Structure 1
C-alpha cells in the first residue's frame, strides 16, 4: 500500500476492542517454549494484540500478514523514531529495562525516518556493497576452522555456544577492523545486551569501545566497513558512525547466530544423524529458507509508532505507542496457506519489508550457508545428542533462539595448531589473504610479559597473526 498517493488508508478509530484486556507476556519461558500457540490465540482475537515486552513495557503486536505489510510499508502513518514513545518520555518505562537497548532511539537508519533515514541508509548500503563475497566466504571458513578445532577432538560440542554464537562475533570484528582489545570488549558487551544481562553497563561499554574504534579508523583507515562508513560522502558524525555500527553489529550477530543454529537443528532433526544431508536429504539452502519462513531468528521486532490514533482492521493503535511486527506470526498466517504454494522463497517477512527492509540480506545468507556447510563437511557424522523436542529455547520477546544445541560425533584430530602466540596490534585487512598460523615451536614464551586473560577475538587474532 502506497501512503504517498494522497489517499488515507486508515479511518479514525471509533473505539478500542482491546480495552481492558490483559497483556500477554512475551518474555517468559512459557512463550519461549511454544510461541506459535500464543500467535494462534492472538489471531483468534484479531490482527493484533496487546503484549508486555518486559515488566512495565507495553506494546501491540501485529500477527496478520497483510496488516504487517500495511504497517511496514506506510512510513507516513507509522514512524520508526522511538523518541515518539510516549510511555518512555513520561517516565513509565524503567530505565534499566532489558529491552531498552533494542528499542531506544539511536541516530541510525533503524530509528530514523524520511530524508535522514535515506541519508544514513545510503551510507550503510553503499558501504556493505563494497564487501567482496569471495573474501567474505573465505573469512567465514577460516573462523569456522578455528572454532571447529576447539571442539573436534572432544567428540561432543554445543554447536550454539561453541560455534554459531562465536562465529558471527569473530567475523564482525574482522569486517569492522577491530583490534584485539576493542574486539574483546565488543564481544563481551554485545553478548550481554542480547542476553539482557547488566544492560546499562554493557551499553556503556559498547558505546565506549565503538567510539574508540571510530577514532582509531579516522587516524588509521583500512579495508573495513568502519573505514568505508567514515569515508562515505554522507559525512557521518562520530555519534552517527557509532550508531550505524551498533545497528549493523546488532542485526548481524544475534540474528545470524540464530539462523545458523536453527537451521542446523532443523537439518539434524530431519536426518537423525544420517549422512543424507550431503546429497539426497535437505539442502542447506532449503533449511535456511525453511527457518526464515517458519522459525525466523528475529521473531518479533520492528517497533513503529503511529503518528495518530489509527484503526487497523478494527484494532485501535494509539498514537506514539509501540507497535511491533511479529515476523513469525505473519509468516505462519493461515491466510497464506494456499498462497505459499505459488509465492517465491523470499516472500517471507523475516527480512522485513518497506523502506526499512534489511540491507544485509545477501551477505547474511552467504555467511549462514558457508558456516553450516563448513561444520557439516568437517564433522561428517554430526548428530543431535538430545531428542529434537527436548531442546530449550531462550526466553525473550524479540528472538527465536536456542539455549544450546548439543551434538555428538566421532572425535578427530584438529587440523591446525591452536597455540596462542603474541597478539598483533590490529586486525588483518578485510581483503588480504589469510595468514598461516604460527607454529607453537616458534613462540618464545620466555620473552612474554604477564598479560590479562584474552577474549575470543584476541585469541583468534593471535593464531592468525602475520
Structure 2
C-alpha cells in the first residue's frame, strides 16, 4: 500500500535510486522528445525534481496513481501560490501562468466552489448544436482560404485561428480583441515577453468585461457576470482569463497534435482512414499518449511533506505531469478505445470544467477539415517536425500538408471530390 501524505515509507521497503540533478523542462531537447525524458526519470520513482525555468525548482509527479492522489487531495496540496511567489523575480518567465489570481484555478474551499459554479453554470448553458454550428462555420471559412492551393500549414492556417474564432463567439468577444488575447497567451506559454503577454491579456479581458457590463448579451461572459454568485469585475475578469487560457493554446494543440497523429502514426492513421476509429477515438489516443498540456495543475504544500518516499519542500511547486502519468506502465492495456481514464483533463475538484465543449470543438473541427480537404498527406516526416520549447505545453511550430486542390463552393462539393 502506498504511503499517504505525511507518512514515512516503511524501513523494510527498498529505497529508490538517488534523485538525478533537476531536469530542465524548458530546453529544446526536452521539447523534441519529452517521452524519452519521462522514461529515463521513472527509475527514480513517482516524483522527481525538475526546473521549470532558470532558477525555478519544482517537483514533478510522473506516476499515475501518485498524480491522482495529489489531484484529489486539495487539503494537503493546496492551489494558492502566494507564499511561493514572494521569492520569485517579477521577470520570471513562468510567473504569469503560476502566480495567484482570484480564479477557480488558484483557490480552494468555499471560494473555489463559488467561482467555479459561475464558470460551470455558464458553460452548461452553451447549446451543443449552437457550438457545433459555430465550429463548422469557422472551419469552412478557414478551409476556403487554402483548399485550392493544394498545400497548407494546418497549425497556422487552421488549428491556431479556429479556437479563437469559436471562443470569440462563445464569449461575445470582438475579433480584433480575440487576436490580441491569443497573442498574449502565446507569449506566456512560450516563456517569451511574458510580462507584455500578461499585460495584453489583462487589459484585453478588462475591455471585454466593461463591454458586457455596459451591453450584456446571450454569451458566456455575460452569463458569468449575471450569475447569482455575484462576481466582481475583477473576479469575472480572472474567470474569463482561465477560459481564454484553456480555449486558445491547449485547444489549438489538441487539434493540431491529433491531426499529426492521424496523418503520421501508422497505427492510428490506418485505423481512422479504414473506418475502424472515429475522430473521438483519435482524440482520446492523443490525450493518453501525448496530451497538449503536458505538465500543469500546480500545487503548493504549506509544509514539508514526505510523499512516496520523497520530501516535498514547503512552498515549492508540485506539478502534475499528465503526459508522464498517462504513459505510466501501470496504465498500459491492449486497447484504449473507449477508455477515458486518462488525466489530460485533470481530476478531483479542479478537473477541467470545459472538457465537453473542448472535445466537441476539436472533434467537429477535424471532421470538417477532413470532409472539405480529402487526400491530405504530410510534407515532412515525424522526425522533421519542430516543437516549441516550454515546460507546460506540447506544441508544434508547424504542420505542413499537401493535397489535391479542391475547387467548389461548399463542404458538399469537397466531400464529393473525395
TM-score of the aligned structures, taking structure 1 as reference length:
0.82
User: What is the aligned-residue RMSD (CA, Å)?
Assistant: 2.6
Residue 10 (1) aligns with residue 6 (2): yes
Aligned to 1:450: none
**Does the 8 A contact of 1:18 with 1:49 survive in 2?**
no
Residue 249 (1) aligns with residue 244 (2): yes
1:47-106 per-residue CA deviation (whole Å, 9 max, x = no partner) reads 111101111211010001111111110111000011131xx313xx33222211111111
What does 1:266-305 align with in structure 2 at a 5 Å threshold? 266-270=261-265, 277-305=272-300
Distance in 2, Cα, partners of 1:172 & 1:144: 13
Q: 2:307 aligns with which of 307, 312, 329?
A: 312
Task: Report how far residue 334 of structure 1 moved.
Answer: 1.1
Aligned to 1:89: 86
Aligned to 1:330: 325
Distance in 2, Cα, partners of 1:21 & 1:291: 29
- Three-state SS of the structure 1 residue aligned to 2:38 is helix
- Three-state SS of the structure 1 residue aligned to 2:49 is strand
**Does the 8 A contact of 2:18 with 2:44 survive in 1?**
no
Is there any run of 5+ residues in structure 1 with no aligned partner, and where?
Answer: 2-6, 417-466
Distance in 2, Cα, partners of 1:234 & 1:332: 39
Aligned to 1:442: none
Task: Report how far residue 14 of structure 1 moved.
Answer: 11
Task: Report how far residue 277 of structure 1 moved.
Answer: 3.7
Distance in 2, Cα, partners of 1:227 & 1:258: 27
Aligned to 2:194: 199
**Does the 8 A contact of 1:273 with 1:383 survive in 2?**
no
Aligned to 2:416: none
**Does the 8 A contact of 2:164 with 2:179 survive in 1?**
no
Aligned to 2:43: 44
Distance in 1, Cα, partners of 2:387 & 2:336: 32
1:15-55 per-residue CA deviation (whole Å, 9 max, x = no partner) reads 99898852110011111111111111211111111101111
Aligned to 1:102: 97
Q: Structure 1 residues 391, 272: CA separation in 2 closer, same or farther (over 3 Å shift)?
A: farther
**Does the 8 A contact of 1:307 with 1:319 survive in 2?**
yes
Residue 165 (1) aligns with residue 160 (2): yes
Residue 412 (1) aligns with residue 406 (2): yes
Is there any run of 5+ residues in structure 2 with no aligned partner, and where?
Answer: 411-418
Task: Report how far residue 195 of structure 1 moved.
Answer: 2.9
Residue 237 (1) aligns with residue 232 (2): yes
**Does the 8 A contact of 1:272 with 1:383 survive in 2?**
no
Distance in 1, Cα, partners of 2:408 & 2:194: 37
- Three-state SS of the structure 1 residue aligned to 2:101 is coil
Instruction: Name the stretch that deviates more: 65-74 or 191-200.
Output: 191-200
Q: Structure 1 residues 49, 138: CA separation in 2 closer, same or farther (over 3 Å shift)?
A: same
Distance in 2, Cα, partners of 1:94 & 1:300: 22
Residue 364 (1) aligns with residue 358 (2): yes
1:397-455 per-residue CA deviation (whole Å, 9 max, x = no partner) reads 10111111000011223637xxxxxxxxxxxxxxxxxxxxxxxxxxxxxxxxxxxxxxx
Q: Structure 1 residues 276, 8: CA separation in 2 closer, same or farther (over 3 Å shift)?
A: closer
**Does the 8 A contact of 2:190 with 2:389 survive in 1?**
no
Q: Structure 1 residues 11, 276: CA separation in 2 closer, same or farther (over 3 Å shift)?
A: closer
Aligned to 1:71: 70
TM-score of the aligned structures, taking structure 2 as reference length:
0.91
1:128-182 per-residue CA deviation (whole Å, 9 max, x = no partner) reads 0000100100100111111111211211111011110111111111111112442
- Three-state SS of the structure 2 residue aligned to 1:346 is coil
**Does the 8 A contact of 1:17 with 1:315 survive in 2?**
no
- Three-state SS of the structure 1 residue aligned to 2:401 is strand
Aligned to 1:386: 380
Q: Structure 1 residues 156, 8: CA separation in 2 closer, same or farther (over 3 Å shift)?
A: closer
Distance in 2, Cα, partners of 1:184 & 1:352: 28
Q: Structure 1 residues 158, 8: CA separation in 2 closer, same or farther (over 3 Å shift)?
A: closer
Distance in 2, Cα, partners of 1:270 & 1:20: 34
Aligned to 1:402: 396
- Three-state SS of the structure 2 residue aligned to 1:151 is coil
Distance in 1, Cα, partners of 2:268 & 2:37: 32
**Does the 8 A contact of 2:182 with 2:248 survive in 1?**
no
Q: Structure 1 residues 341, 157: CA separation in 2 closer, same or farther (over 3 Å shift)?
A: closer
Distance in 2, Cα, partners of 1:307 & 1:13: 21
Query: Highest Rg: 1 or 2?
Result: 1
**Number of equivalenced pairs:** 406
1:281-319 per-residue CA deviation (whole Å, 9 max, x = no partner) reads 542111101001001110100011112211111011011
Q: Structure 1 residues 347, 362: CA separation in 2 closer, same or farther (over 3 Å shift)?
A: same
Aligned to 1:422: none
- Three-state SS of the structure 1 residue aligned to 2:300 is strand
